[in-house]
Chain A
């Protein structure tokens, strides 16, 4: 033994005569790239298990037993390794592999969407032999075949790199495409009558190293060299990093960008293809006001007619001033704002709370969690939550349906890292067998089950079943999380029950040692909205009411109404002006009846939106807003990660950014918000919001992972008294309602590629419950609750626990909102054959 001081993890690798230090466990292909030598590759993808199939990354490696060609994507760096990436042997192998890859490749580059950004083209130019000696007939397949509604497969172009098939089975968990046949007849294909029905299929198009997989929304739309791109953030709760690509002022494609903190380059198909809505002809392009049949502005008219900004703003200013004169600030309410950028949210918060003076502001539509709770509970980054040795408690809607890239990250961690996952939700999630323990409490009893779990972790194992969950399952779940830092993915798993069981459960789980939260709220920027003060009782920066923020003329001191309160006040005549900022309560508020009565009763409804949705159509004054990719700003994800939203195209007509509309409206009310650019809004946020202190717009934009808001908060959310459990009678089922990826959402329905993907509403029941009711798959039943009744088909589903019935929201055929009893904690339903 020598005492020479050696770094225990130093691995010296000699690359083309130059020695560098590799990291322990680092793959040779990555180490070389990190040190400036790119090794060509096709099958290797840093986010998937290497398979060493394409042989393109063969390099001459000597590990002490003589130089030999080895695939650098499968080789971990070892001390003393000598690598030659430019030797004759390496070059001959690269030439050979590329020649082999090209012999059956159709070389139809001039008509191939991938041409110009094709790794096969690029690497042939850089490393290939230059000419082919192949004079035989090439392999032929039927040219492109659809593998699902949006993805086409050209098997002639395919080089069989296993990227898409690996993605499908390993990353997405939808192993619906696979190799078939063998030898040179090998092809990728779906199985008979089984389309590649995956929410993540678009990712295979992005990672395909040739033009074999193409996506319908982009096919033949542009050549890559005509595209301009900006790096941006998709405004979803995960804050997926994306590249927005456009040509001639039209967004033509969205691609995922690999951010280690968030989406790892993946996107759901809904997000990826949603750009189609940006240029939809039904976008609102001009302000609308009441008018007559001839299209002239007329306050007494029944129609909405086009108006200038000056007229519309003047009208809006007048009604707000009138309402303030008549009923004071509390007569005005602002509903929505969760889809806006942080800057627009701040501008609207400042307009409402400082200029108008009302605290009746809520970005969540009674389908979220108390803002003070979200703002004050401890958080953890996703990477920390999924670090080896961690545990996750999933208490939200199915991430596969609503938080796609979170689902992919959870899948990865459960497969490749030592983490455990306990589900605490009404139905089994799409994670399936990867879930360590599934606890599925009876709706309304999540709180008591969470309490039992916390007690069990502390050592007091349950002796009897709790909330419809067996004592054994709770004990198993306690074992699964014991001794591990627990992160709770917390959201409203079902809108058929009130928020209180979830709040109780979160308060209980907070007592677990090392517990932190990731709040899975609906809508893209709900977290930004809470941080910017678009919630009753909050001011920007996770601060409660009390002091007046710096630079603000005034601030409310009494907590205002939440969404439900505002709508009830409107019905009661106490609220005369309701401003809808990118919200559609008629379609999206859980209590459809209340929303409908409120919008009818309310004196004036002012709507700021992208499309003339149901609520906008019943508004009195409409402002067209610039949407995603049309306006710059920043976005906050569920970790509190702030990342840039980049403007790429011009908004349609005279639509304006939401923060400009807020400024304009403030001006009508005689106030100046003081903003002249997005940066100026951000700068004010940094000074006003303690949580954002120290950030800068430039820093946020510069880091691929964005910047984390970790502001300390003085807020405290006192846990309320636990909700009493409502007993279930033996004749009823308990209703669960949730959201699915494809539904009748305005955005989805304005994307031609996705509009038809939403299924009709069905009642999902456990197969035994369906049998008991004599309701076979597809048979029509009537579902009755204390609030109403609807008719819809039955779908037996073993993921639904016995005693529950699941109906998705916002789908055609039947609206489960008609069943929900909003005065009760839970909704019990009875099912009768139609």
Chain B
């Protein structure tokens, strides 16, 4: 294995650390993306292992491994696979490679550095589910990943790994590479399916129908994340029991975390799932080596821009979905954004909200109108044109997008207990509620920073308030007039 260096030359962004390498085992090689290197390092052995067993057996193995989805929701892949309604064919596998969550760049590395591993994982999933059509949807901006996957697919077709009668068996699969036109929302599985069908990438309402029941072209469709599928070759080769030796009981295996922001050594780390704590990851010498230049940690986002913020009190939580959810945020797509004490909370809040306002697809009202409204108000506060009522109004706009108490981390100093994830929503998909995360997180914790920016004293009267005196006069007038 390549030495533990900061950002290997071959895979910028990836930091090689001691420990299991389930999905990053080839990242150290110059030519990790070629079929030759892939085959020389045990490539397609997992597929061969799978083809020696029955599809049901492969499915069971994956279910046994408790492989959790790596796209954000963390739902067990083996269970998801079982949701297709019986006797409805054809069915499709769609690989979600539209990694767009700010701070997340692990899938990009997996697609650029080891496209064959993804293809192999997709084939194993297709075999387990009895599918013959797989769609690989790669984010529009990821030109290198698209190119590498296209080349790898051509190699794999030529070598007989993909296409008709794979490796001489009866198993045949076509993999279609498709790339997006550049929309964050297409990372949402139903929007991705719409985009794949050639429509505007706008989410479908679920319930009533989830993709596993009614998906691509109205047929049962399994949508899996790139990293999820990249785990499959290893699991098939080494077995679920081996896999479960890594990580915690509830979150076995390893997981890629992309750390960005004010740490000494940002990057993508493959770490054991559910065992490591945020403190170890951020401060550990093996990992990010602490906050830059001796600054103090102010806050961090544990799971991509959509996640409510965490603060130093939450550092000792393990990197595992359940405890993070209970503490008021989510592990999401494994993107940790660290902000130190130089960060302006209001400005950081605007930066994240602006992203969601730009990326709202415009389909449903609260998100389309609410996110931009939030952005304008935050911008106005930063420009020194805020009003004192704006702060509570921001919270109320958020409440109209995501009604009820919004997930927030505990703040003992303020007597604030944690509100667990997920938020409720008046929207079709979680994008709108995601824009509320930075607002509630920042206002709950740093209200004084907002107040400090507000120099204008009052709200702008947009409608004449009804004064009690005026009301009395009006009532009196009606009484005397005797008619309306």
Across the interface, B365 reaches (CB within 8 A) one of A55, A69, A135, A136, namely A55
Residues of A within 8 A of B404 (CB): 89
Across the interface, B426 reaches (CB within 8 A) one of A58, A132, A179, namely A58
Asked if B400 CB lies within 8 Å of chain A CBs, one says yes
Cross-chain contact B426 with A96 (CB below 8 angstroms)? yes
B361 closest partner in A (C-beta): A182
Q: Annotate B326-362 by CB proximity to A: 1 below 8 A, 0 otherwise.
A: 0000000000000000000000000000000111111
Cross-chain contact A97 with B365 (CB below 8 angstroms)? yes
Cross-chain contact B360 with A69 (CB below 8 angstroms)? no
Asked if B275 CB lies within 8 Å of chain A CBs, one says no
**What's the least CB distance linking B353 to chain A, in Å?**
12
Q: How far is the CA of A99 from the CA of B366 in the complex (A)?
A: 9
A70 closest partner in B (C-beta): B207
Residues of A within 8 A of B365 (CB): 53-56, 97, 100-101, 159-160
Cross-chain contact B403 with A89 (CB below 8 angstroms)? yes
Across the interface, B360 reaches (CB within 8 A) one of A71, A95, A184, namely A184
Q: Annotate A85-103 by CB proximity to B: 1 below 8 A, 0 otherwise.
A: 0000100110111011101
Cross-chain contact A92 with B205 (CB below 8 angstroms)? no
Cross-chain contact B403 with A92 (CB below 8 angstroms)? yes
Cross-chain contact B377 with A93 (CB below 8 angstroms)? no
Residue with the highest number of chain A CB atoms closer than 10 Å, among B360, B366, B369, B428: B369
Residues of B within 8 A of A160 (CB): 362, 365, 368
Cross-chain contact A184 with B400 (CB below 8 angstroms)? no
**What's the least CB distance linking A283 to chain B, in Å?**
47
Cross-chain contact B376 with A182 (CB below 8 angstroms)? no
**What's the least CB distance linking B25 to chain A, in Å?**
39
Residues of B within 8 A of A793 (CB): none
Cross-chain contact B362 with A184 (CB below 8 angstroms)? yes
Asked if B370 CB lies within 8 Å of chain A CBs, one says yes
Cross-chain contact B366 with A183 (CB below 8 angstroms)? no
Cross-chain contact B426 with A93 (CB below 8 angstroms)? yes
**What's the least CB distance linking A831 to chain B, in Å?**
40
**What's the least CB distance linking B419 to chain A, in Å?**
16
Residue with the highest number of chain A CB atoms closer than 10 Å, among B183, B364, B377, B424: B364
Across the interface, B460 reaches (CB within 8 A) one of A55, A97, A135, namely A135
Chain A interface residue number, banded: 35 or more
Cross-chain contact B462 with A132 (CB below 8 angstroms)? yes
Q: How far is the CA of A184 from the CA of B427 in the complex (A)?
A: 15
Residues of B within 8 A of A75 (CB): 208
Q: Annotate B423-445 by CB proximity to A: 1 below 8 A, 0 otherwise.
A: 01011100000000000000000
Residues of B within 8 A of A103 (CB): 369, 373
Residues of A within 8 A of B424 (CB): 68-69
**What's the least CB distance linking B305 to chain A, in Å?**
15
Q: How far is the CA of A76 from the CA of B366 in the complex (A)?
A: 23
Across the interface, B364 reaches (CB within 8 A) one of A54, A135, A185, namely A54
Cross-chain contact A101 with B376 (CB below 8 angstroms)? no
Asked if B371 CB lies within 8 Å of chain A CBs, one says yes
Q: Which of A487-537 contact B (CB under 8 A)?
A: none
Q: Annotate A80-121 by CB proximity to B: 1 below 8 A, 0 otherwise.
A: 000000000100110111011101100000000000000000
Cross-chain contact B403 with A133 (CB below 8 angstroms)? no
Cross-chain contact B205 with A100 (CB below 8 angstroms)? no
Asked if A383 CB lies within 8 Å of chain B CBs, one says no
Residues of B within 8 A of A185 (CB): 362
Residue with the highest number of chain B CB atoms closer than 10 Å, among A71, A104, A184: A184
**What's the least CB distance linking B241 to chain A, in Å?**
35
A50 closest partner in B (C-beta): B205
Cross-chain contact A100 with B403 (CB below 8 angstroms)? no
Residue with the highest number of chain B CB atoms closer than 10 Å, among A74, A130, A135, A178: A135
Asked if A134 CB lies within 8 Å of chain B CBs, one says yes
Asked if B6 CB lies within 8 Å of chain A CBs, one says no
Residues of B within 8 A of A132 (CB): 462-463
Residues of A within 8 A of B428 (CB): 52-53
Cross-chain contact A92 with B400 (CB below 8 angstroms)? yes
Asked if B200 CB lies within 8 Å of chain A CBs, one says yes
**What's the least CB distance linking A775 to chain B, in Å?**
35
Q: How far is the CA of A52 from the CA of B202 in the complex (A)?
A: 12
Q: Annotate B383-394 by CB proximity to A: 1 below 8 A, 0 otherwise.
A: 000000100010
Cross-chain contact B366 with A136 (CB below 8 angstroms)? no
Asked if B363 CB lies within 8 Å of chain A CBs, one says yes
Cross-chain contact A96 with B373 (CB below 8 angstroms)? no
A75 closest partner in B (C-beta): B208
On whether A136 and B376 interact (CB within 8 A), knowing A52-B205, A74-B205, A183-B358, the answer reads yes
Q: Which of A100-156 contact B (CB under 8 A)?
A: 100-101, 103-104, 130-137
Cross-chain contact B369 with A69 (CB below 8 angstroms)? no
Residues of A within 8 A of B460 (CB): 135
Q: How far is the CA of A181 from the CA of B362 in the complex (A)?
A: 8
Q: How far is the CA of A438 from the CA of B402 in the complex (A)?
A: 52
Cross-chain contact A55 with B366 (CB below 8 angstroms)? yes
A182 closest partner in B (C-beta): B362
Cross-chain contact A183 with B360 (CB below 8 angstroms)? yes
Cross-chain contact B368 with A186 (CB below 8 angstroms)? yes
Across the interface, A93 reaches (CB within 8 A) one of B200, B205, B361, B403, namely B403
Residues of B within 8 A of A52 (CB): 205, 364, 428
Residues of B within 8 A of A53 (CB): 363-365, 428
Cross-chain contact B400 with A182 (CB below 8 angstroms)? no
Residues of B within 8 A of A74 (CB): 205, 208
Q: How far is the CA of A182 from the CA of B200 in the complex (A)?
A: 10
Cross-chain contact A135 with B462 (CB below 8 angstroms)? yes
Cross-chain contact B403 with A183 (CB below 8 angstroms)? no
Residues of B within 8 A of A76 (CB): 208
Q: How far is the CA of A254 from the CA of B424 in the complex (A)?
A: 44
Cross-chain contact A136 with B373 (CB below 8 angstroms)? yes
Q: How far is the CA of A99 from the CA of B205 in the complex (A)?
A: 22
A88 closest partner in B (C-beta): B403
B368 closest partner in A (C-beta): A184
**What's the least CB distance linking B429 to chain A, in Å?**
11
Asked if B164 CB lies within 8 Å of chain A CBs, one says no
Residues of B within 8 A of A131 (CB): 462-463
Cross-chain contact A184 with B366 (CB below 8 angstroms)? no
Cross-chain contact B373 with A100 (CB below 8 angstroms)? yes
Residue with the highest number of chain A CB atoms closer than 10 Å, among B364, B365, B372, B427: B365
B460 closest partner in A (C-beta): A135
Asked if B380 CB lies within 8 Å of chain A CBs, one says yes
**What's the least CB distance linking A187 to chain B, in Å?**
9
Q: Which of A168-200 contact B (CB under 8 A)?
A: 178-179, 181-186
Residue with the highest number of chain B CB atoms closer than 10 Å, among A53, A75, A101: A53
**What's the least CB distance linking B255 to chain A, in Å?**
30
Q: Annotate B193-207 by CB proximity to A: 1 below 8 A, 0 otherwise.
A: 000000010100100
Residues of A within 8 A of B380 (CB): 136
Cross-chain contact B362 with A100 (CB below 8 angstroms)? no
Residues of B within 8 A of A95 (CB): 400
Q: How far is the CA of A58 from the CA of B364 in the complex (A)?
A: 12
Residues of A within 8 A of B358 (CB): 183
A97 closest partner in B (C-beta): B365
**What's the least CB distance linking B316 to chain A, in Å?**
32
Q: Which of B461-478 contact A (CB under 8 A)?
A: 462-463
B200 closest partner in A (C-beta): A179
**What's the least CB distance linking B382 to chain A, in Å?**
14
Residues of B within 8 A of A183 (CB): 357-362, 368, 371-372
**What's the least CB distance linking A28 to chain B, in Å?**
12
Residues of A within 8 A of B400 (CB): 92-93, 95-97, 99-100
Q: How far is the CA of A58 from the CA of B208 in the complex (A)?
A: 15
Cross-chain contact B362 with A186 (CB below 8 angstroms)? yes
Cross-chain contact B371 with A184 (CB below 8 angstroms)? yes
Q: How far is the CA of A74 from the CA of B460 in the complex (A)?
A: 39
**What's the least CB distance linking A265 to chain B, in Å?**
25
The 5 closest A-B pairs by CB, nearest first: A96-B400, A186-B362, A184-B372, A100-B369, A131-B463
Known pairs A135-B462, A159-B365, A184-B368 / 4 extra A-B pairs, C-beta < 8 Å: A92-B399, A136-B373, A160-B368, A179-B202
Can you list 12 contacts pairing A with B, beta carbon distance less than 8 Å? A53-B428, A55-B364, A69-B424, A69-B426, A92-B399, A93-B403, A96-B366, A131-B462, A133-B462, A134-B462, A179-B362, A184-B368
